[in-house]
Chain A
Amino acid sequence: MKIDLRLEDGITVVDLEGTITIGEGDVQLRKTLFALIERGQNKILLNMERVGYMDSSGVGELISCFKEVHERGGQLKLLNISKKIKDLLQITQLLSVFEYFSDEAKALSSFK
């Protein structure tokens, strides 16, 4: 998985590219986010536009990141999830847990 970070209005946008599956992106994503939180950057927007595939390990990973960010008083939101990833979050009843957006500007202003 490719992970790029950019800071927009004090919010870290994490641009992901690839798959979030067992032994692939998962550990890498967690490490990146945990490092961000350590540095106090705890407003995080995960841009999943280029994540084409995610399995149950990936879902678990998202939750693990979500919980960690929240425990540290931060916020983790999702941007541009694909129809299929939305389906996965829907059937696992997690869609109401994650805030998600399809417009970056709106997503960013929601952190205010």
Chain B
Amino acid sequence: MPTITQQQIKEHGLSGDEYKRILELMGREPSLVELGIFSVMWSEHCSYKSTRFHLRRLPTKAPWVIQGPGENAGVIDIGDGDACIFKMESHNHPSFIEPYQGAATGVGGIMRNVFTMGARPIAMMNALRFGEPDHPKTRHLVEGVVRGIGGYGNCMGVPTVGGEVNFHRSYNGNILVNAMCVGLARTDKIFKSAAEGAGNPVVYIGSKTGRDGIHGATMASAEFDDASEEKRPTVQVGDPFTEKLLLEACLELMATDAIIAIQDMGAAGLTSSSAEMGDKGGSGIELDLDHVPQRETNMTAYEMMLSESQERMLAVLKPGREKEAEAIFRKWELDFAVIGHTTDTNRLVVRHKGETVADMPITALSDAAPVYERPYDRRAASVGVPQYDAKKPLLDSLARILGSPDMCSRRWIWEQYDYTVMADTVQRPGGDAAVVRVHNAKKGLAITTDVTPRYCKADPFEGAKQAVAEAYRNISAVGALPLAVTDNLNFGNPQKPEIMGEIVGAVDGIAEACRALDFPVIGGNCSLYNETNGEGIDPTPAIGGVGLMADVNRMATVAFKREDDVLMLIGDTRGRLGQSIYLREIEGREEGAAPPVDLAAEKKHGSFVRKLIEDGRVDTCHDLSDGGLLVALAEMALAGGIGAEAGVAGTTVDAIAFFFGEDQARYVIATPLDEANRIEQELRDAGIVHAIIGKTHAAKTLRIEGEGEVALSELRKAHEGWFPAYMAVAHEN
């Protein structure tokens, strides 16, 4: 038996205490294979050891929630026997190392999470964060990530319908690539991962196993390739063609009743899928690695258990159904092998070449995995009202903001994604939320991803509330009822109390907002240690939200539709410029208090607007977020090709603050005059602060009282110009 050295323990990312705990649980020294299994199962990624304690505070229940966190993806009931299954996940580190493959495999991974539960994926979203545009790596990363997302999603034939992108120096050394997948299933046909019962066959399906993604450090012994002496790369390459076949084959198998449990092989592949299925089913699992389909020769047990080769699934079948399942996978020309069976021992037993290479209690990998209540320090939130030059010409600033990296059109990105395949995309990228119709039905799903990291940096609690509120608003603004969220918590090193404080603050903020808005969390993902040279990223708790639209024929979009529509601003405008886009882009500072979020107002205003759209009274609506009112008006004008005029409507707020402040819980709607009059009365009755601020007009200009006007063509040039011009410059890889 090998003796485990201090060096090996360290290379496996285990602390001294953790190793002691392993010795206790095992009652002996682990083998190298067992050590590897512990190392991946107890990693932050698989065990959530730093966040699990806090995540318990998130609200996860509602009458429409069928499955909350804990399975491969969350499930909600959307009526008529239909279920919506969705999840968001990060692929940050791999995308920094190799942007194309990192992003592509991120998309593939999240799709498997969704279709392993029986859903056909119907829409993809992505939330991206890159370093500052001038950083030498940024272009290459943007180019590769976008191409990778498109390369995988387009081939799968699933529309990529939206997302968000920010550039900020805090991501120079750690970009964020968060991908979200939304799928549809029938409520009585949802597949889970609990491998209940003993003596059932465990089958391996999909691609062959290679030495992909096995962490370099732990592989020092076998790492060199004899022929070239080159170090084996640990990057995984995606194969969307195989994934498409895997999707169709799995759905075909799922139409039978042969499956007891099924789970995709994601991080820590064979190890985590088998351990989790056994754990959830309260059974044991015995694997014989000799039967694992292998792409390379002489693979060790260690390599096979830790490989992260893509496009693979593990399933437990009802006994006797193997032939039937095999026929399906052969038809789709995929590998299929019975590689083990379930037992009643509650142990994970792994055999290879006639030897038992691992034999461990499954609970040691799940329940007994460490949970840390790490010390945290919630530093004081940034406060204050920032100074600014009140004389700067408003419309010049608008053009500059519309042409800035964070605010310009993302067309360069979304045109590389097939957003119309599946013929159900009723609201395309460019609006507040994307809307995809439920196939063969009248209803649709509204989808958005949101977070404003600069608010979260200034105040993790309010910032996280804001992320949830903005997702709620984006869904309401198209006319859908927000139903549930998935989160993706991207942070720095949790072993630093101030970072842990950001995490705790953000979790509390999400919890409070989701509770107040009836918007439960049904899934999520944590990506910690996003740090380079001791510099962490800005806290980035991305929120992916999904809502239900009863009738996609009654949907609002941001585009102005008619001349002489009245512009109504709903919500209170104080002109808060703290942490605003205006302050950063025009004054060059990120300071002051992040805008506070009044959740009661969010709910009230959102419900009001939604009702107007549902009743078919309003078809033009935009929520206000980054850049405030004037940016929203410009986006509405550009989207519709119709101009408008507006003023401060008798308020005492200074024009710059009025037009660029980022107060929350606000929407702009545009309707013909008589409807506007009725709506105004209803707003008054409901006690909702509002103002008529102007109207759309015949000229193709945006005119602001006392500031003059600017041609839409000029704004469009600024808005559409930045991305293509930026990406046109030659860059190194």
Asked if chains A and B come from one complex, the reply is no
